[in-house]
Chain A
């Protein structure tokens, strides 16, 4: 039978999915072991036990100086920044995206501008962000917003433009005003795709969050990673990377769940990733 026609059983699927993870883990354990034969205190590839102990210390042992549980304060700081940043980006994406996608005047005046802005790597204009927004939370949040919003705007504008013309005509023949069409037709049709855009936007969102925290801060997951990198504490960095990955994965799944709960009609068509 051709390979494309072979159906996998549930257990096979699970096994196939787990294989790359197990392979990487094994690779790490072996490489770490070989390195530690030379130098038991090797910092580059610490043992799983060392990483576990460091993670435990970060999560459940109060910091000597501040008395904080660093993992949780870092997580809180980072999620706060990411949440506010992505919230602003999402709002901008929704408002500007619908305007561009639905109103010809807005499209003509904003679409080329947004397309241009989305090509600027925000990190390159960082000094300007500092001057305008200060060195505090605002410039970090703005970095996330600038890094994610333009692409999300474009994606939402495309979603709005892809609404079948027939539906808009139909709404017009039912006597809808422009505002009513936005509230009852465009917005509901766009919201599930907005969640998709948000899920995709979170990928650069995390990257910009970590970069922002590397620049100037007093806490956060990216701050901790860049701080302890100064003494090559991979035993802290690797668990933090794992933690960030886990958080990102959970947020992604929660958004998918939200989309399925809030917009059941959108998911009737088939399985989504």
Chain B
């Protein structure tokens, strides 16, 4: 049996309504759970970039690329292993203001790449960016203070290998 690994898919698409459905249906059909997803504009005007994180085998990943690229409005899809990308996630923690001057919290903020981005009489908000494990760790540490809210973004990633979308688009037109 092939090993299951974490793959990060970068899918460059046209910016049209419904593409997310079309892409997510491909994962659904194969019973793959999407661990994380981010959609944003890309380095190219009018081209959107989806980032999906999925735990599957190498051969499943190869086939998935074929099915993703088969969609009319997908320009190109790439999958990368963990060592082929630079990536991070962002999280926000909302905590009661009574803990604002807690020494332990202040220490954690210094130690991590974390900032307080809002303070009100009732609560304050910490923003932290990093790898998933780092954010998980931060979450575990802050949980005892009573998280009023917690949210984490999907993964964003930049690949080490080149993804030549601009050249491809020239070729298409």
Do A and B pair up? The answer is no
